[in-house]
Amino acid sequence: MNPLLQPYNTAPFSKIENAHFLPAISKLIEETKEEITAITSNPEAPTFKNTVEALENTGEQLDRATSIFFNLNSAETNDEIQKIAQEVSPMLTEFSNDMLLNEALFERIKTVYNQKTTLNLSEEQQMLLEKKYKAFSRNGANLSEEKKKELRKIDAELAKLKLTFGENVLAETNKFELHITAKKDLSGLPDGVVEAAAQTAEEKGKEGWVFTLDYPSYVPFLTYAANRELRKKMAIAFGAKGFNKDELDNQQNVLKIVTLRHERANLLGYESHAHFVLEERMAETPEKVQSFLNELLAKAKPAAQKEFNTLTAFAMELDGIEFLEKWDGAYYSEKLKQKLFNLDDEKLKPYFELKNVINGVFTVAEKLYGLHFEEVQNIDKYHADVKTYEVKDTQGELVSIFYADFHPRAGKRNGAWMTSYKPQQIKEGKNDRPHISIVCNFTKPTTSKPSLLTFNEVTTLFHEFGHALHGMLANTKYPSLSGTSVYWDFVELPSQILENWCYEKETLELFATHYQTGEIIPMEYVERIKESATFLEGMATLRQLSFGILDMTWHGFSAAQKTNLLKDQNVKAFEAAVFKDTQLYPDVKENCMSTSFSHIFQGGYSAGYYSYKWAEVLDADAFAVFKKEGIFNKKVASKFKEFVLSQGGTMDPMELYVKFRGQKPDPEALLKRAGLLT
């Protein structure tokens, strides 16, 4: 019996075998098609209820099965799952096209849409109607049959290319290891990092120490290893993912993806992929995004150059390094930070035991939103590392099921993300609560130490938990408007605003206690954390802007401009031209950013990477209210929950923001916080 075809509440991971996915998804696609046929063959005149709402309620089981499958493909994959993904993705793309190019279905939706002013719909119903209509009109419903065929072909190819891109990046990450056998090559590395590397070596059946490209191994190595040649080796390997001219090379995948996206946009009547994407974003147009990025660039570049010069002079003074290379940045930044603030991650890590940080973020959620988290053992997991919780409100009512998966392993892609196994919705008078998950790659416990986080990992946990709150506190009628189903440049507001709490004394006192002595983090450390918050902020801003500009250049230029920039289909040359205004370090010929830029070539951030900076403006402006009224002020938190966290995509995000804030965001709030205003 296939567990994905039976009714279930929480995902039945222990019952699912890989062999279940393909037959289940195939059958659920057919069942959903039948539900759609029931809508199109309804003899009654189209109404909001029998057409738009009916369509919203189709494919629930299919959505749940595919969310389980693709979440596993990111967090616990293997060769078999990746092979199934290559079969399943085109099937789902074809099904999506079958629906969006279904003329009879579109005619019914169009009929309701054309009557919208006379239907007396609620605000949420109006938004659902608008989104359903646009989903069809923006994805080819008005095209000729010939062009519809072309669109299907492009979409099927894109689905496969994106998967292949991600598989190659993961394989490249897993393939590389730096095996050290001489103790002198460990100079500068903290004990915990060395112990973790010894543990990795043991797991791989090797003597000595093994470092990998997983973040908890790679980042400390680049930050602390005194051996410059070995830092160089690691940095080049990290930057060369997908750029080694072998079977895992992603250059052609990048070129094919951007070309197909451009052709798709043109087919649909848009100038570029960015024009298509941004029509459904707060930023609205590529011109506005470029203007936004250029404005920040003008403010950040002088500060970044000044910081880079200071860092170079410091490296020269310390070690006689005349020219800083990319593999020197983290190392000398950390040394300079220690000198200026007498603060480093190794001093802080004992105060950030993962268990305590988790309790800390839970306490913040309790103080702000009245949520209570209880770890439970009766919920199925896909891996022993996963923790499961029931989240309840002050009345003891279930708010959400919450999964948390914290440590790296071979089947898990790098980075951190939030996802969902079941959306929130109100159906037949019942508020069906969501199942939310966060996945991270934090330092693992060793034989002598628990999992101790760097301060950067602490902010990452708060960031992903902010996304999780957006999902957990959803309170809308329709699942496609629920939780994080919002404009992409609004979705980072709940995550990024929560990072601000990490820098506040009131928050740190809740959880930052020494894992051995129980001592609360000394206030001098808290002060230094705050002081160092804007350390090298110009350089960090420039780096983020460079990614946003690269993304917009890949996706926002006209075909003619792109042809000129591409110089004979050369991904590296294209990048070099794009990066010239944001480059501080010398170029590394073996490295290429685009070939492992998973956010835009595998994930959903194409023509949207700018949204991190865009949302920073929102979060800096919004947090200013909390700072003024008190970071745990119930009234402000209640407004933020009411107008931002619970509303999902039921209204235009700027309207929601203004309802919370009372005004539009002020970009100077970000520049002020970043110390970039003179």
> Does residue 422 contact residue 429 with C-beta atoms inside 8 Å?
no
In the numeric block, the tokens 């709030």 are attached to 669
Please, which contacts does 38-44 make with residues 24 or more away whose CB atoms are closer than 8 Å? 39/105, 39/108, 40/102, 40/104, 40/105, 40/108
Strand partners for 42: none
Strand partners for 353: 452
Phi first, then psi: give them for residue 233, nearest 5 degrees: -60, -45
> Does residue 232 contact residue 244 with C-beta atoms inside 8 Å?
no
Q: Which of 60, 464, 537, 616 is catalytic?
A: 464
Q: Which residues are within 8 A (CB) of 646 and not within 5 positions of it... i.e. 6 or more apart?
A: 473, 474, 475, 476
SS3 452: strand
Give the H or E element holding residue 404. strand 398-405
What strands, in cross-sheet order, belong to the sheet with 372-375?
Answer: 372-375, 387-392, 398-405, 435-439, 417-422
Q: How far apart are CA 308 and CA 301, in angstroms?
A: 10
Query: Which token pair is 109?
Result: 């939706």
In b/e form, how buried is each residue of 101-116, taking b as 16+ CB within 10 angstroms? Answer: bbeebbebbbebbeee
* Longest CA pairwise span in the chain (Å): 82
Distance of CA 575 to the CA centre of its chain: 23
> Does residue 660 contact residue 639 with C-beta atoms inside 8 Å?
yes
Give one DSSP letter per residue of 443-498, joined into a string: PPP-SSS--B--HHHHHHHHHHHHHHHHHHT---S-GGGSTT-S-TTTTHHHHHHH
Strand partners for 438: 404, 418
> Does residue 545 contact residue 582 with C-beta atoms inside 8 Å?
yes
> Does residue 582 contact residue 547 with C-beta atoms inside 8 Å?
no
Amino acid making up residue 10: T
* CA atoms within a 13 Å half-sphere pointing along the CA-CB vector of 312: 15
**464 part of the active site:** yes
Query: Which token pair is 285?
Result: 């147009």
> Does residue 556 contact residue 600 with C-beta atoms inside 8 Å?
no
Q: Could you tell me what percentage of the chain is helix, strand and coil, using 3-state DSSP and rounding each to the nearest 5?
A: 60, 5, 30
Per the document, the length of the chain is 678
Q: Which residues are within 8 A (CB) of 407 and not within 5 positions of it... i.e. 6 or more apart?
A: 385, 440, 441, 442, 443, 444, 451
List Cα–Cα distances, 306 to 33, 310, 324, 539, 587, in angstroms. 60, 6, 14, 9, 19
Amino acid making up residue 422: K
Strand partners for 602: none
CA torsion, points 38, 41, 42, 47, in degrees to nearest 10?
A: 90
Residue 246: CB atoms within 10 Å: 10
List Cα–Cα distances, 77 to 14, 95, 171, 600, 604, in angstroms. 15, 24, 11, 21, 19
Amino acid making up residue 117: T
Q: How far apart are CA 386 and CA 84, in angstroms?
A: 23
- Show which residues are catalytic: 464
